[in-house]
Amino acid sequence: MTHSYALLALVLIPLVGSLIVFALPRGQAAAAKQVSLVFSLAALVYAIVLAARFKTGGPRFQYGTSWTWIRDFGVHIALGVDGIALVLLLMSAVLVPAVMLASWNALDSRAGAEEAVEAPRRRSAKTFFALLLLLEFFMLGVFTATDVFLFYVFFEAMLVPMYFIIGSFGGPRRQYAAMKFFLYSLVGGLLMLASVIGLYVTTGSRTFAITQLIGHVPGGATQKWLFLGFFIAFAIKAPLVPFHTWLPDAGAEAPAGGAALLVGVLDKVGTFGFIRYCLPLFPQASRYFAPLVLILSVIGILYAAFLAIGQRDMKRLVAYTSVAHFGFIGLGIFAFTTQGGTGAVLYMVNHGLSTGALFLLLGLLIARGKSRNVNDYGGTAKVTPVLAGLFLMAGLSSLALPGMSTFVSEFLVLVGAFTRHKALAIIATTGIILAAIYVLYLYQRAFQGTVRERVTKFRDLNPREVLAVAPLIALILFFGIYPKPLLNIINPAVKATLSDVHQQDPIPPLNATVAGGSK
């Protein structure tokens, strides 16, 4: 195997940064922030370089590399990216600097702190930024790992910085939320560990390399059990209804930046796992369980949307919208069509950007209003037009307004699902009405209407805060008009995955016979 140090270097950038920031002396908050931002930007630039040099027609996994880690069990430190991992990698790398910029002063003073209700408490910005970088290291690792065991290690390790980010820097019920998040994920992780071991034993190939495991998992009941282990872990992570209840708590209690990364990136690991591990490793079981997953996904779309409409806590609301969006992603992946799969992957990227922006903006709003209850706001757009404008854009991207990249992905998912499961796709399509309701109803309550007294003293976004969010919105708009670069990267990987599952796109029944209809 040819060794390429490219990915290793990429993954190590945030790790080194994190260690440096941890090692900084106490009280060097400003330096810690600057160093963190520099390292995260370096990772972003490097990720862009890698993406630019990615050969879209080339082999499935590129920048591949592998070192033996535990010889006796055939565990390798094996890294590599296909199109799916690459776009998620990019999305994570974009989101981390945005989160840092948006959280720049969030920990400095009581005035800037997000929750007014909690007792004053020493919260170290240094630790927060170091944890963010550490989290980025694990996130990049989880997307680049091509060894199932290594993936598992990153998958579990990701919990640790997130646990501290929620538990130390979160809202009033942070302990509860952090513990719930941790336990949920751990249960899933343990099931996955059992399946990872089962995979090793049943294939008998004495390796954890994904490329060598694909197609070698025995069929029948064994495969179904192994599939379930992975599936439940990812379904909890994603989260799919009915494993979703940790997300509203964690999303609401985490600091805004943490919530953006939690929902934007960490949860994508679940859906990424579906498409990277569940489908190729267990094709037979995937097909067997697909109807169940599809139905759960569609239920999730509508159920979570209704829940979002009924929320007053703005962060909980957005967390629930994410559950609905994950329903769309699940629908796309398990529809087994190129459109559905590509749409789902693009959806993951878009959702990271859109919900990330939404959480960051909510954080900025909540920092001003000291309340997560939407009824405490009203008429904010009059006082902070920039914040309101950006929030509306982010909200519109969340409801998949045509012209934004979220529309491209949502429509691809729906059209891909429709070609195979018409009824389910039609039911899912009604979710777009609910999406409009939860987004615009939120916007109306928070930003429109009579200007409230407490709102009048709000300060509009400063350039740093705009700089944190505006690029995310700009990306969403750009890829809405010209999504081809991303689609070109994603498409081959999705096609390869579908051929692993032995599925082909249904052929339009009326297409073949008309010459003019091929356009």
Partner 1 sequence: MITAHGIQSYAWLLVAIPAASALILLTLGRAADKWGHLLGALVPVGLFVYAVFLFFSVKGQSNRKVDLHMFSWIPVARFRVDAGLLLDPLALVFVLLITGVGSLIHIYAVGYMAHDPGRRRFFGYFNLFVAAMLLLVLADNYLAVYVGWEGVGLASYLLIGYYYTRPSAATAGNKAFFANRVGDVGLSIAIMLMFAYFGTTSFAGVFGHFGHGGNATTGVATAIALMLLLGACGKSGQFPLQTWLPDAMEGPTPVSALIHAATMVTAGVYLIARSAPVFDATSAARTVVTIVGAITLLYGCINGAGQDDLKRVLANSTVSQIGYMFLAVGLGPGVYAIGIVHLLGHGFFKAALFLSAGSVMHAMNDRIDMRRFGGLWRVMPITFFVFVCGYLAIIGFPFATGFWTKDKIIEAAFDKGGTSGYLLGIIALVGAGLTAFYMTRALVMTFLGKRRWEPDVHPHECGPVMWLPMAVLAVLSLVGGWLLIFGGGVQEWLTPSVGPSVEAGVHTVSKPVLTAITLVVVALGIAGAWVAFGTRTIPEEQPQNVTVVTRASRRNLYADAFNEAVLMRPGQWFSRALVFFDNRGVDGVVNGLSASFGGGSSRFRRLQSGFVRSYALSMLGGTVAVIAVLLAVRFQ
Read off the amino acid at residue 198: G
Query: Which pair of structure tokens corresponds to residue 260?
Result: 């953006």
Closest approach, Cβ 483 to partner 1, in A, equals 6
Contact 104, 7 (CB under 8 A): no
Q: What CA–CA distance (Å, rounded) separates 449 from 447?
A: 7
Closest approach, Cβ 228 to partner 1, in A, equals 19
Contact 136, 43 (CB under 8 A): yes
Q: What CA–CA distance (Å, rounded) separates 519 from 511?
A: 10
Residues 211 to 250: which contact partner 1 by CB under 8 A?
A: 241-242, 244-246
Q: Which of 91, 96, 256, 487 binds partner 1 (CB under 8 A)?
A: 487
What does DSSP assign to residue 355? H
Locus of tokens 């942070």: 174
Q: Which of 157, 437, 467, 496 binds partner 1 (CB under 8 A)?
A: 437
Locus of tokens 């379904």: 235
Q: What CA–CA distance (Å, rounded) separates 243 from 484?
A: 34
Q: Does 172 bind partner 1 (CB under 8 A)?
A: no
Q: Does 309 bind partner 1 (CB under 8 A)?
A: yes
Query: Which pair of structure tokens corresponds to residue 261?
Result: 């990364």
Closest approach, Cβ 295 to partner 1, in A, equals 16
Q: Does 183 bind partner 1 (CB under 8 A)?
A: yes
Q: Which of 152, 282, 407, 458 binds partner 1 (CB under 8 A)?
A: 407
Q: Which of 447, 461, 472, 475 binds partner 1 (CB under 8 A)?
A: 447
Q: Does 335 bind partner 1 (CB under 8 A)?
A: no
Judged by CB, which is closer to partner 1: 270, or 416?
416
Residues with Cβ within 8 Å of residue 345, at least 6 apart in sequence: 83, 84, 87, 88, 275, 490, 493, 494
- CA of 334: how far to CAs of 176, 199, 208, 232, in Å? 33, 22, 24, 15
Residues 367 to 386: which contact partner 1 by CB under 8 A?
A: 379, 381-382, 385-386
Q: Could you tell me which of 208, 226, 216, 211 has the C-alpha nearest to residue 70?
A: 208
Q: Does 423 bind partner 1 (CB under 8 A)?
A: no
Closest approach, Cβ 61 to partner 1, in A, equals 21
The residues pairing with 373 across neighbouring beta strands, listed in sequence order, are 313
Query: Which pair of structure tokens corresponds to residue 413?
Result: 């998912």
Locus of tokens 């993936």: 151
Closest approach, Cβ 508 to partner 1, in A, equals 4
Q: Could you tell me which of 315, 352, 319 has the C-alpha nearest to residue 94?
A: 352
Residues 28 to 87: which contact partner 1 by CB under 8 A?
A: none
- Point out which span in 63-71, 134-142, 176-184, 265-273 binds partner 1 (CB under 8 A): 176-184
Q: Does 27 bind partner 1 (CB under 8 A)?
A: no
Q: What CA–CA distance (Å, rounded) separates 267 from 157?
A: 14
Closest approach, Cβ 466 to partner 1, in A, equals 10
Q: Does 505 bind partner 1 (CB under 8 A)?
A: yes
Judged by CB, which is closer to partner 1: 17, or 378?
378
Q: Which of 25, 120, 463, 516 binds partner 1 (CB under 8 A)?
A: 516
- Point out which span in 130-138, 250-258, 347-355, 441-449 binds partner 1 (CB under 8 A): 441-449
End-to-end CA distance of the chain: 42
Q: Which of 339, 350, 397, 398 binds partner 1 (CB under 8 A)?
A: 339
Q: Does 411 bind partner 1 (CB under 8 A)?
A: yes
Closest approach, Cβ 31 to partner 1, in A, equals 34
Q: Does 440 bind partner 1 (CB under 8 A)?
A: yes
Q: Does 204 bind partner 1 (CB under 8 A)?
A: no
Angle at 9 between CA 6 and CA 13, to 5 degrees: 145
Closest approach, Cβ 341 to partner 1, in A, equals 9
Q: Does 104 bind partner 1 (CB under 8 A)?
A: no
Closest approach, Cβ 377 to partner 1, in A, equals 13
Backbone angles phi and psi of 68, in degrees to 5: -70, 135
